[in-house]
Structure 1
Amino acid sequence: MKFSVLFGREVSTWSEEWKHECEIRYLAGMKLGDRNEALDGVKDGMRGIKSIRGEKAVAHLRAEIDRYAALKAKAG
């Protein structure tokens, strides 16, 4: 079990919640340009998350990244 910033409680490290937390934490830790390339896939013809999961999923990831950053800032 690990504490999830996004869910505000401990979650199993085998759970979908933890998988989501790890993805968001990884993306949030990237430089903005690199993150945009990973999400949009605009560099060197590389497929981004948008081409795999769609625009709605990328919009959700961006919102979660912002929420994660706000929660981390609030926690200190």
Structure 2
Amino acid sequence: MNKDIVKGHWKEIKGKLKQQWGKLTDDEIDTMQGTFEELEGKLQRHYGYQKEQAEREIEKFLERNHLTEKT
């Protein structure tokens, strides 16, 4: 997965993140500023995901929202 997708579409996906993962606060979302690793870490902390699971969940989120790179 291209981790730059998250950063490149950050303004576009901020609201969708809150809908998907309601435990994330607005302040947390704002301070992440599109950093994939920070999003991954917040999901691990709030939802108890393992690193690999957090990555998969983010990938699925990007696919559902048509934000993946076409290969």
Taking structure 2 as the reference length, what is the TM-score of the superposition? 0.34
TM-score for the superposition, normalised by structure 1: 0.33
Structure number with greater CO (CA < 8 Å, separation at least 6) is 2
User: Which one has the bigger strand percentage?
Assistant: 1
